[in-house]
Amino acid sequence: MFTPKYPPPDTTPTAPAPAPTTDHTPTTPNPTPAVPAPVVSAVVSNRPTVQLTPGSALALAAGGAGVVLVVGAVLVSMLLAVAITGVSVAVVAVVLRLLIKDLHNHR
């Protein structure tokens, strides 16, 4: 139950091993120059690629702006709640101080 579950390893094909080199020279008098083969990428990813169209980029930007506005509104409302609570505690402290002072003066 508490053992970790590892994802399966990638199944990308491996590149073929290079051909062994020989130390002897060819016996043909005029060998034709070797033409380099085109390079083909052997690594193929199975993961899907994300392609953004202008509409999806606009929707992504609007969604990000909406998240920023909502988080900002929540943070401002929390700050306002803390400020109101602090002011009300200060007022209660002043009132209690005045009541205690008034009780001590009438004795």
Per-residue model confidence as pLDDT tens digits over 65-80: 999 999 999 999 999 9
Read off the amino acid at residue 48.
P
Q: What 3-state DSSP class applies to 93?
A: helix
Average pLDDT value for residue range 32-41: 64
Q: What is the CA 91 to chain-centroid distance, rounded?
A: 45
Give the whole-angstrom CA distance, residue 13 versus residue 43. Answer: 6
Q: CA 41 from chain center: how many Å?
A: 29
The confidence score (pLDDT) of residue 79 equals: 98
Answer whether residue 40 shows pLDDT above 80.
Answer: no
Q: pLDDT band at residue 47, thresholds of 50, 70 and 90?
A: confident
Q: What is the mean pLDDT of the chain?
A: 82
